[in-house]
Every structure is written in structure tokens, then in C-alpha cells.
Amino acid sequence: MAPLAAPPEFQHTYARTLPSLAMSWKADVSADPQLVIANSELASDLGIEPEWLHGSEALALFSGQEHAADAERYALAYAGHQFGSYSPRLGDGRALLVGEFVDQHGSRWDLHLKGSGRTPFARGGDGKATLGPMLREYLIGEAMAALGIPTTRALAVITTGELAVREQPLPGAILVRVAASHLRVGTFQYAAALGDLDDLRALANYSIDRHYPDIATADDRYLGLLQSVIDRQAQLMAKWMLVGFIHGVMNTDNVTISGETIDYGPCAFMESVDPLTVFSSIDEGGRYAFGRQPAIAQWNLTRFAETLLPLIADNPEDAIAPATELLETFPETFSRYWHDGIARRLGISTHVEGDDVLANDLIQLLQERRLDLISTMRSLSAHLRGDDIDLGDWTTRWESRLQLENATIEELVQRLDAINPIYVPRNHLVEEALAQAVAGDLDPFMHMLERVTHPYRRVEGDDRFAEPGDPAPGYRTYCGT
């Protein structure tokens, strides 16, 4: 294994390959940067020396105080459909790509600053981020990673020593984000709108080389790219739905080619099961409600497919039929991933006829009774240990199905406890922890972070982290811009 690096050796393959999609820019210099939290475990996993991450050199890098003559930073260009309406120029309005680095396992990562100041893509924004939303992104990203859901992650959060004016002045902050890449559906929309087929082809080839190298030499590699991204997004949607995650702003600029979850602005976790659940204050029409997320993913993938048509066939009209055929596989692919996932959460390891109906009936029952998804799934193992569970005759049907598993009660309990979490970021507790952190007390945030990054391990005395909040309507999330 290679030694840990301090700092990473940054490269700029994306900006060099696609200069029309990356604008060289400098971060604002923070007045009085302070490290709030550093992700030492992630740093070690990525081959970065944790001591460097906690030191002055890293702080200077993240806060714009590093003035090396060869330091390159890039604001990335992309377009996007926002709540169904097309915006031809979005881009990194308050973010910069510091560079790419290759970890000790040979994987390439982006290091990205969010809240680093205005760029030419800023439009009316001030280019700043505030502490609460950046800590939210850190917390939720780490929770998602612990749940096995593909996600961008945070390497650190720093404060800038400045105030950002929102409804009131708030501490300015920068999130140091790590991602497999920042390639988005919106990136392809921007490139397609430029009208340069060579640039679009270069973007597609770069995406294939970086994320799907197994299809790089295929004759139909652009159809292969579409199929690969469809599959990744179907997997991602299934994983979201299995834990009640609501993204809140599934615009095409927030759909990654890698299949990672990105942008945790107005996200939240559903508690009582209701497919129409919406938390985002800006989603007034419920476009991105919990139960609509798979269909929206397919809609977004259709926008992606549109950009690839001139690459799939010399005459784009000839590409419509094969692209449409692939897009039409999305519902079945999503359903397969979801049913496989829910079966495992029910302790089922082999598929027999009736399993899908059993799973669907459980979700219908939870919806009718407005039960909490996470705690109900976790209670299944407790029931096998002897606790009561009030799910009517569904429980009897489930117990009968488990008899086909050829497993002991203890083996079934272990299966269930290994996949059904105790702790997820409960919305009311997230808000409490963030409010206290902004007020200067980080301890509640760190306590919650410890629980949600070890979601399957029960800690005595911390039952409140497992309990859903008040089911009454009215909770709203905000994007923080």
C-alpha cells in the first residue's frame, strides 16, 4: 500500500481535456479561517495524511490563502432543468474544483470547495455558504455512506471568519467535498448546447474512461454509457427509497454520471410512510415527492439520452429508437433493485413466488397506518426475539416465508440487524444539532454524527436518536443559498 500523501498530488485531467467546460478562477481569501471538523477516517481511506488535514497547510488550501503560482482552480460549467424548466447556464456559482487526485487504491477523486466565493457562474448569488447547511451536507453524506448509499462526502468544513447575510447574518463556511467526479447530466446538457460535436464526444469519452472503462472499446459505447448510467441511477433510487430518503431537488444538474448522491440542500428522511411526502420549501408542487423520485430519475435520464443522440448515430433520428428502448427498461430495473433490497431487509436470501407481493403489501400497510419506515423495519428482528409487532396477518405470512430460508432464528436476526439501521438522521434532531453548532456548541452535532455513522450498533441511553419526530405536517427544509 502506498504511503499517505500530504497534501494530495493534484491533477487537472478534466479541465485539460475539456477547457470549454471548466473556467479557471481563484477562491476568495477567507478573513479568519478556522477548521470546524475534519474527516480523518475518510482522509486515511483516500491516502491523505490526517495530520496534514488538521494542519495549517490544508487550512490555507481550503480557504484561498494558498497563493502558489501554479495553483489552478476551476469553476465547472453545466446547465440543467430546475423543477422542469431549462436553464442553459448554471455552473459552479460558489464552488471551485481544486483538482483531482488518485488514491492509494488507484481510484481518481475530485476535491471541491463549496462556498469559496463568487465565480462567473454566480448569477445573483453572493458566492458564500453558511455553517449550518455545510454541516448538514457533512452529516447527511456521512450517514448515507454508512448506509451503503453511493454519495459525495465531506473531507472537512471550515469557517471563513466572515458573515453571510441570509434572513439574518450567519457564519460563513466552506465545505471541502470529495466525489468520484462532478460530471452531471447538466454537464452534458451544457456541452450539447454549445453545438460542438467534438467537445460532446470528448466529454462522453472522458466519462466512459473515468467511470465505465469496461465499455471504452465497444462499438456502441455511447449506448453503453446511457445503459450504464441508467443502471447506476436505478440502483441509487432503490437505495434512497429503501431508507426513506427524499433528495428534495432532483434537477438534472444534481444527477451524477457516476451514480453518487450529490447536493444535500433541502434533503430529509421520511418518517411516517407517505409517497407524497415533501419537505423542501421550494418544491411547492411536490414534483420531487418521495414516491415520485424514480419517475423523476427516468425523466432526468431522458434528458441525458437526448444529449447523446448525435453520438449514438450519425443521424440523431436513428438514435431515438435504441435510446428509448434503453430508457424504457428503467422502471423494471429499479423495481428489481428495490425488491432485491427489501427482500434482504426482510431476511429473505432466495427469491420465491410471492416475495414481491409480500414486500409490496408491507409498504402498503405502513402507508395506511402512517408508520415509521426505519423503526418498523428494525422491529422485525426484535419480533423474532419475542417482542410483539402489530402488523396484523402480514406478520404471519412473513413468518411462514422465513421458514423456507433454512436458517435459525439467530441467523435471521443477524441478517436483519446487519441491514436494517437503528439510526438515521432524524429531521428534528438534525435541526437541533445544527442550531446548536451555529450557536457555538458542536457537541450535539458530533454526538449525532457518531450515531448515524454507526447506524446498526445500538448504544444504551441514545434511544432518542432512533425515534421518529412528531408526525404533524409543517417541517420544511431549505437549500441554504
For residue 186, is it within any domain?
A: no
- The string over 254-271, giving b where at least 16 C-beta atoms fall within 10 Å of a residue's C-beta and e elsewhere, is bbbbbbbbbbbbbbbbbb
> Residue 403 has what pLDDT?
97
- The answer to whether 181 touches 256, Cβ cutoff 8 Å, is yes
DSSP string, 19-67: GGGEEE--PPPPSS-EEEEE-HHHHHHTTB-HHHHTSHHHHHHHTT---
Q: Average pLDDT in the 14-37 region?
A: 97
Do residues 266 and 142 share a domain? no
The residues pairing with 95 across neighbouring beta strands, listed in sequence order, are 114
Give the residue, 279 or 98, on which the prediction is more confident. Answer: 98
The reply to whether 389 and 290 lie within a common domain is yes
Mean predicted lDDT score pLDDT of the chain: 95
Q: What angle do CA 248, 190, 478 make, to 5 degrees?
A: 20
273: Cβ–Cβ under 8 A, 6 or more apart, which residues? 244, 363, 366, 367, 370, 371, 372, 373
142 and 218 assigned to the same domain: no
Query: Same domain for 345 and 218?
Result: yes
The pTM of this model reads: 0.96
Residue 417 falls within a domain, yes or no? yes
Do 269 and 424 form a contact (C-beta atoms < 8 A)?
yes
- Residue 299 resides in a domain: yes
- Judge if 240 and 304 occupy the same domain: yes
Q: Considering the domain boundaries, does residue 209 fall inside one? A: no
Do 141 and 223 fall into the same domain? no
Task: Give the three cell numbers for residue 406.
Answer: 433454512
Do 294 and 346 have their domain in common?
A: yes
CB 268 within 8 A of CB 248: yes
Number of compact structural domains in the chain: 2
Q: Which domain holds residue 170?
A: 13-179
Burial classification of residue 53, based on how many CB atoms lie within 10 Å of its CB (0-12 exposed, 13-18 middle, 19 or more buried) = buried
Looking at the structure, tell me whether residues 237 and 308 fall in a common domain: yes
* pLDDT tens readout for residues 465-475: 999 987 555 66
Domain end, chosen from 131, 162, 179, is at: 179
Sign of the CA dihedral with 454 first, then 259, 235, and 133 last: positive
Q: Do 109 and 234 belong together in one domain?
A: no
Give the model confidence (pLDDT) of 396-431 as tens digits: 999 999 999 999 999 999 999 999 999 999 999 999
Average pLDDT over every residue of 284-309: 98
Query: Mean pLDDT, to the nearest integer, of 172-192?
Result: 99
User: Tens of pLDDT along 199-237?
Assistant: 999 999 999 999 999 999 999 999 999 999 999 999 999
Residues belonging to the active site: 253
Q: What's the pLDDT at 28?
A: 93
Specify the pLDDT at position 69.
47
Are residues 219 and 339 both part of a single domain?
A: yes
Percent pLDDT > 70 in the chain is: 96
Model confidence band, residue 479 (pLDDT cutoffs 50, 70, 90): low
| pLDDT computed for residue 472 by the predictor | 53
pLDDT tens per residue, range 425-457: 999 999 999 999 999 999 999 999 999 999 999
203 is a domain residue: no
User: Is pLDDT at 124 greater than 60 in this prediction?
Assistant: yes
Q: Which set of grid coordinates corresponds to residue 440?
A: 457555538
For the residues of 68-137, what is the DSSP string, one character each?
-TT---EEEP--EEETTEEES----SSEEEEEEEE-TTS-EEEEEEESB---TT-TT--SBEEHHHHHHH
Element (H, E) at 321: helix 316-327
The confidence score (pLDDT) of residue 282 equals 86
Structure confidence at residue 400 (pLDDT): 97
**Is residue 377 domain-resident?**
yes
Asked whether residue 392 is domain-assigned, the answer is yes
Residue 158 CA to chain centroid, in angstroms? 21
Say which range, 14-18, 188-192, 266-270, 324-328, has the weakest mean pLDDT.
Answer: 266-270
Of 155, 142, 164, the closest CA to residue 50 belongs to 155
474 found inside a domain: yes
140 and 240 in a single domain? The answer is no
Domain stops at, among 162, 179, 196: 179
Last residue of a domain, one of 160, 179, 198: 179
Residue 245 has what DSSP assignment? E
- Predicted confidence at residue 280, as pLDDT, reads 84
Mean pLDDT of the 5-17 span: 90
Clarify whether residues 146 and 219 are in a common domain: no
